[in-house]
Amino acid sequence: MITMDDIVREGHPVLRQVADEVSLPPSEEEKHTLTEMLQYLINSQDEEMAEKYNLRPGVGLAAPQIGLSKRMIAVHFTDFDEQEYSMGLFNPKIMSHSVEKTYLSTGEGCLSVDRDVPGYVPRYARITVKGTDLNGNEVKLRLKGYAAIVFQHEIDHLNGIMFYDHINKEDPFNVPENAKPAD
């Protein structure tokens, strides 16, 4: 199982690389790894497992965070409309996005960042994502708000981008005029 010992921390070059496309169909090993990434999220949200294995809770995870520079992400969360997302995706790609932005009023954190970085992280309010799921099916997702934020955070990791790269350096709590909080 994946534990915090497997999560690389900021400063490791893999977090600043552009990850490689996974050639399709994914190998058994790639499918196993993506399944393990999803399992980490599920375990991390289970109080007993998180306590027992000292897991930081997570709603998303990207392969570079376990040292694997491949375009693979896993997400496990329920959004504010009670819509559940629990999936692994190969080669996720943002096909289109709104001009309008959104952000989490709590700011963001990252399993690869062992410090608090205060500030709003402006992200697209709505995105359309395409990718291939663990069953080898192509999926097309239209996401907004919280779900859009989580997927953007993960896809950023595949492009070597950390959440704090988006925070306004002069005024971390500056809100762009076209942005509304997701929560």
Ligand X SMILES: Cc1nc(NNC(=O)[C@H](CC2CCCC2)CN(O)CO)c(F)c(N2CCN3CCOC[C@@H]3C2)n1
Give the nearest residue (CB) to Ni ion: 110
Residue 77 near residue 85 (C-beta atoms within 8 A): yes
State the Cα angle at 123 between 131 and 176, rounded to 5°.
160
Interface residue with ligand X among 157, 162, 164, 182 (CB under 6 A) is 157
Residue 167 near residue 117 (C-beta atoms within 8 A): yes
Q: How many residues contact ligand X, by CB under 6 A?
A: 19
Decide: is 37 part of the binding site for Ni ion (CB under 5 A): no
Decide: is 63 part of the binding site for ligand X (CB under 6 A): no
Q: Nearest Cα to 117, choosing from 172, 158, 66?
A: 172
Partner from Ni ion, ligand X, none binding residue 109, C-beta < 5-8 Å depending on class: ligand X
Q: Which stretch binds ligand X (CB under 6 A): 32-40, 84-92, 102-110, 127-135?
A: 102-110
Q: Which one, 30 or 154, has the nearer CB to ligand X?
A: 154
Partner from Ni ion, ligand X, none binding residue 79, C-beta < 5-8 Å depending on class: none
Is 47 noted as a catalytic residue in this protein?
A: no
Q: Which one, 54 or 137, has the nearer CB to ligand X?
A: 54
Q: How many residues contact Ni ion, by CB under 5 A?
A: 1
Decide: is 149 part of the binding site for ligand X (CB under 6 A): yes
* Interacting residue ranges for Ni ion, rule: CB under 5 A: 110
Catalytic residue set: 154
* Interacting residue ranges for ligand X, rule: CB under 6 A: 45, 57-62, 65, 77, 108-112, 149-150, 153-154, 157
